[in-house]
Each structure stands twice: as C-alpha cells, then as structure tokens.
Structure 1
Amino acid sequence: MNILISGGSGFLGSAFSDEMLKRYRTQNKDLHITWLTRDSSQVRPDNISMMTYDELARTEQSFDVILNLAGAGIADSRWSDERKKQLLASRVKPTESLLSFIERHPIKPKLLVSGSAIGWYGTQGDKSLTESSTFQTDFSHRLCEEWEQLALKATDYGVPVAIMRTGVVIHPDGGMLGKLLTPFKMGVGGQLGDGKQVMSWVSRDDWVGAAIFIIEQHLSGKNNSQQHSGSNTNDNTLKMPNDTLAAVYNLTAPNSVTNHTFTKDVGAWLHRPTFFTLPTPLLKLMFGEMSTLLIDGQKVVPQALLDAGYEFKQPTLEQALKGQVVK
C-alpha cells in the first residue's frame, strides 16, 4: 500500500506513520509512506519518503490513500484577523494541492481521509452531538466547514472521502496535555472557569487506531454495506451530488469529561495538587475570542465508530493517562 500524508511529521501524522509501519512489518505486508513537506531540507525519518509540494505537482507516482492532516494549531495563539487567515490558509493550500494532484493523475487514490475538528459543531454545551447533529455558527465551525467542503471536492473525481472530526487529543508528547505539563508539574495547574464545561477528548493511541480502522473499513468495502444498510439511526454519510461515498467520523472517546474532572485526573496522574482556578473573565481577557475553546464545552459522541465496531483501547481518561511516560 502507498500512503501520502500532508502534515506527516506532526503530532498525529508521525504517530500514525509509526503504527502503520509497525503493523505492516508484523504482517509482512508492503507499505510505503510519503510525507508532503514545504521544506526540502527536512530530515527524513527511517522508512519514510519525503516529497515537496512542487514535486507533487509533477510526480507520476500514485497513492492508494491520501491522509490530509496539514494545518496550524487552532489554539497556538490569539485569534487576530491575521491569525484567522493563517489558520484557514494552512488548511486550504495543502488541500488544494492534493485536489490538483487527484484531478490530473490518471490513477485515482482509493480514499482521501481529511482532517477536521469537533469545532465544526460550534458551542452547544452538554448536548450530545453525533455525526448527524446540526451546528452552531462561530469561527471554529466556519474554519472546519470550509476545510471539509474543499476536501469533499475529491468526490468530483470519483474519490471517496472520509472526514475525521477530532476532539482534544491526549498524549504527553504534544497537544493540549503537552502544553499543560509544565504548570501542572509545578503545582499550579487548575480548572478553567467553573470547570463544568464538557471536554470531548481522545487518546492519541485511539486516534491512530481509529484512523487505521476507518481506512481499512473503506478499502475493504465494509463501510459501504454498513452505511447503506439502514441498520442505525446515526447516518454519517454525506449526500454528494455524484453519489461518490463520503462519510464523517467523530474521533473522540466515548466518555467525555468535565474540565473539573480532567483537572483532577491529570493532577492525580502527576501526583500534584490542583488548587488553582482561572476565572472566566481572566481567560477572556488573556485569550480573547479563542477563550471559547477553554470555557465553552462540547459533548461529542463517536457514534459512527461505535456503530462500525471500533473498540476503544482507552475509553476513559484514567486509562489514557495510565502508563504514559512524562519526559
């Protein structure tokens, strides 16, 4: 199998690549992974090929699966007007390059898996949200929606698309947890606001496992039969005018937690106190519009994965933290 990954060197792409290589090596199957990069001088990891976007525009190489993960971190800095433009461009430009490749290449990929986030649903408090739920319009929704709609254009060329709406990914190597380690280890970690906001999270191990599961389901044809069987009420298929299969998956654990519970669990895991609280007005002052990511909750359910039979390795936050090594 040949896989092309945009954002392959990132927090999720690198973990996905490592796990795929390990599985295929164990099964004595052929696997070739190529990372797209804008930096031609980037160091190439073992067993990974590198390709620049300029090379992608000329290559005759074909790929079975394209995994589109490129995009700047939405919580990395305040949402100024300029930052919002950067967040959108960092997602749109790589996706446009992939679409151009798909359009011109005579051998189409069997599947495009494209990233998104649970921000698509907007702020909806503790209401349970599945793949068939509606949305509330805010910046996070508009960002995700534009990214998703662009990726779905691959269906115009007969390429099935799977959209992955990812929650807060838990692993000490990066993401939200990686940023919180220092204050928590110093004993100054604490809840945000009133701590009642719901956090929809997923362990990085399960994010990788679910991504591989989705790919295998689509390539085996199991996704087709399941989604059109009418056996479940959560329809995660997207209605495309050309009838090419497109589906959306929530990549979250089945057991969301409040920020209060998250704070206590991380403190217990690190054996540190969690007495501090950052009041909502201070969070709004510090982070501006971006504070919605911290103080407004989302309860997002991975219904499509559960219906398809994916078994979570770490369905609870305690399990996700247990055994993780802090560097």
Structure 2
Amino acid sequence: MGKSQMFEARSQMPVSAEEVFSWHAREGAFERLQPPWESVEVVERQGEGIREGARLVVRMRLGPVPLRMVARHTRYIPGSLFQDVQESGPFSKWVHTHRMWDEPSAGGVLEDEVEYVLPVGPLGRVFGGGYARQRLERMFAYRHAVTREDLRRHAAFAGQGPLTVAVSGASGLVGGALVPFLSTGGHRVRRLVRGRPEAGDIAWAPGQGETDMVALEGVDAVVHLAGAPIADGRWTEERKALIRRSRVEGTRVLSEALARLSRPPKVLVCASAMGFYGSRGDEVLTESSASGTGFLADVTREWEAATAAAEQAGIRVVHLRLGVVVSARGGALAKMLPAFQAGAGGRMGDGQQWMSWVSLEDLLGLILFALHTPGMRGPVNAVAPNAVRQEEFARTLGQVLSRPAVVPVPAAAVRTLFGEMGEETLLSSAHLRPEAAERQGFTFLHPSLEQTLRFTLGKTSEGPRFRYS
C-alpha cells in the first residue's frame, strides 16, 4: 500500500455540534448527502445507523465503470465524532472521520477528514491524484452546503416540535429527496405505497379507492406528490387518461380518506402544476391569475378541486403549482444533460417562451415551510422569483458546463416528435411569480438560475475550507 494522503473539509454550522451530530445520526443522512451528479445506490445496510459495527454496501460508477464499496463504522462518540472505514472498494485505503465541536460564540463546526490511498500505487497518485482531489472538493462542498442549509431551515421551526408526515410519490424526484430531508430534520416519515408496505409504510390503492385508514390516524401532515409523469413521451388518449386519473382520482381518494379520520391531519400539501395557467406569453402570473386553456390546465383545475373533501373537513390545504424542478438527479435537467454535455444543446423553438423553474432544494424548503406556516393555504406558485426565457436557460446551462449551446430544436420538430405534449410543455410560455410564498416570508436559497445549476452540477467555487497533507 502506498503513502496515505489526508484531506480535510471544515465549515461553520448554524447550530450546536450536538445538533449537527444528531442530524447525521438520523435515518436518511447518507441519502441526503449524496451529490446529484454522482450515481450511488445503497444495496444493503447492516446494524444501527452510524454506530460502531454498522456496515453499508453501495453501488457507484466511475464514468462507465461500475464499482462496489463496503464501509464499516469503527468509531462512535455521541455528539462529537463517528468514523467509517472501507472494507472493500475502489480505494486501497479509505478512512473517513466526521468531527463536530463547538466554538465559543460561533456555533458548531463540522469537519470531514479523509485518509486515503489511491489504487495502482505511484501510478495512481501521478495520474489520479488531481482527479481525486477535484472529486473530493466537489463532493464535500455539496455535502457541507446541504448540511448547513438543512440545519438552518429545520432550526427555524424547532419550537413547533417534530411531525409525523405521510408522503405519497416518495419514489419520485421530489419525494425521494423529501423523505430524507424530513427524517434528518427529526420528523417521522411514513410513505404511502402501492402494494405490500414495509415497516412504517401506509398501504393505499387509489385505483380501487382504498387507503389504510387505521394507519393514517394521528398523522400530523400529508404531502401528496403521486401522479403519472407528464413529459414521458407523446400524449396518446390512453396516456392522457392515465395522467388525469392518477392526479384527479388519486387526490380525491386520499382527500376523502383524510376527511373520514377521527383525528385528521392539520395540513395537506398537494402537488399541482404551473400548467394551471396554460400558455400565456409575456403575462406575469400570480396565484390570483385565472386558469388557462389546454389539457394541462383542465387537468390541474380538476386536480386542485379534488381536495374538496379535505378542505370541508377543516384540513388546511396547500396547492403547490410546481414549475420546472431543476436537479441533476432527474427531471427535465437530467434529460437535457447528455445533449448539452456533448455540445449539441440549444433553445427549443424560438426560445422566447418563459420558463418558470425552481431548485429542488428550494422546493424541499417550501414544502417544510408550508407544513409549519398556518397562513399558507390555497394555491402557491412553487417557482423561483426569477423566471427566464428558454433561450436563456439553454445559454446558462451551456456556460455552466463550458459547452456551446447553439444547436436549436425548431418548433416544428418539437411538434412532430412530441405532438400536444411538446406544445404544452416545451413550447408553452408561463412567467410565474411566487407571490404567496414571498408574502408569507419564505426565503429562497437559490433565486438565480446560474447559482442553481452550479450547485446541482457541482460547479460552484464556494465551499468549506479545504486542507491537504
């Protein structure tokens, strides 16, 4: 084995060291810390969280090469330290020590220390040393930013105590991030799942109009995100029926089940869509703007109306009219990336259509804010305050990737390839403002598109203090 190299990343945190440690010790912390540009999948867990003896098996990729890593936790000092060591994997040696401590009048400090040896001996150090350092800096800049901002957001509502939150659509882009975001914040999350539920899950079968009523009793809040994807190919009549049914009927079944509970939740946060407004050119749209025309507008009106039973039962209902959710982990950006990384990206149509978007991190924060803010109810435009024209989105993505973005897709080609779906999603123009969220005092972490893209793609120059030895 070659000579060990040491890497340290250190950041100030907005809470005490004990709270930083507790965040890491909760279920979902590993998933929450995985950068969206990395492909990492948990294969197996053994033992209890981060305590000594616990083991974690993950699959990852280095470019096209699949890799497997087995890590074992070897040290655990409550409130201040835990450590994991690679038992097998891509490194000749990997020892990761997580430290937390308090500094007088400055709050907690988080330090990650990694002792590692690259494979292939001296050759690995010569040809892989710079690449390894770059990957470590990108990864820990992301991890520390997520930890810091999650702790800040949860601390704002610490006085309200933990909630039990039921989440539908927990396997999707938003739900898959929301579950660990809530659980690391100290909330108990129960997933609404089709088929056989695992421990803690709640069974529901919206197609048969069924929900496990007993399991829903006593839930404090529900976040309803389930629904068939809208932009997965052309809209056949069968596909349109599925989209409508999955949103309207699923929401109605859930709302009626909640209304029948003897102890209903206080709040239902329900996904909706900016499709409510239709294509409106340059008109600036707020929550008080009228609905538009088209298939998506029709579906979204019915979708929001399907919560009537919950509202009549006294449950506070929030309709999040989602813009384009920006994350390298999935959704529209993930579909665009291959073309843009190859230098073959560009605008859609003439590129003048308005694109209202929101970072995944801000959407998670807005959901948490909606759960805890009694004054938030009814429609909420879940978008960043700075919508952009589609041409600007393409140009900014190209700049962040250091690639040209000059290969347009003509509107005629979009209509030929995608039909009505392309017309209503890719060529539609909707300039939304998050008036309701801003009025209630919500603060956006990523108000600018470039900042959002740099964060989710690991291209930011900001980060913790790094040290090598």
Cα deviation, residue 109, structure 1? 0.8
Q: Distance in 2 between matches of 1:200 and 1:90?
A: 24
**Within-5 A mapping of 1:1-327:** 1-24=163-186, 31-40=187-196, 49-53=200-204, 56-60=211-215, 61-218=217-374, 223=375, 246-292=377-423, 293-325=425-457
SS of structure 2 residue aligned to 1:323? helix
Structure 2, unmatched stretches of 5+, are 1-162, 459-469
Bigger fraction of residues in helix: 1
- Contact residue 204 and residue 211 of structure 2 kept, 8 A: yes
Counterpart position of 1:229: none
Q: Which amino acid aligns with 1:258?
A: R
Cα deviation, residue 260, structure 1? 0.8
1:14-41 Cα distance to aligned partner (Å, 9 max, x none): 21222122222xxxxxx21111111327
Bigger fraction of residues in strand: 2
> Size of the alignment, in residue pairs?
290
- Contact residue 126 and residue 299 of structure 1 kept, 8 A: yes
Q: Distance in 2 between matches of 1:70 and 1:314?
A: 25
- Contact residue 152 and residue 161 of structure 1 kept, 8 A: no
Cα deviation, residue 89, structure 1? 1.3
- Contact residue 256 and residue 309 of structure 2 kept, 8 A: no
Cα deviation, residue 94, structure 1? 2.4
SS of structure 2 residue aligned to 1:140? helix
1:249-296 Cα distance to aligned partner (Å, 9 max, x none): 000000001111100111111121112011111111111111221112
Cα deviation, residue 49, structure 1? 2.9
Cα deviation, residue 62, structure 1? 2.1
- Contact residue 258 and residue 310 of structure 2 kept, 8 A: yes
Cα deviation, residue 58, structure 1? 4.3
SS of structure 2 residue aligned to 1:109? coil
In our comparison, the structure showing a higher alpha carbon Rg is 2
Instruction: Give me the identity figure in percent.
Output: 35
Structure 1, unmatched stretches of 5+, are 25-30, 225-245
SS of structure 1 residue aligned to 2:350? coil
1:165-208 Cα distance to aligned partner (Å, 9 max, x none): 00000000011001111111122111111111110000000011
SS of structure 2 residue aligned to 1:33? strand
Larger RCO: 1 or 2 (CA < 8 Å, sep 6+): 1
Q: Which amino acid aligns with 1:9?
A: S
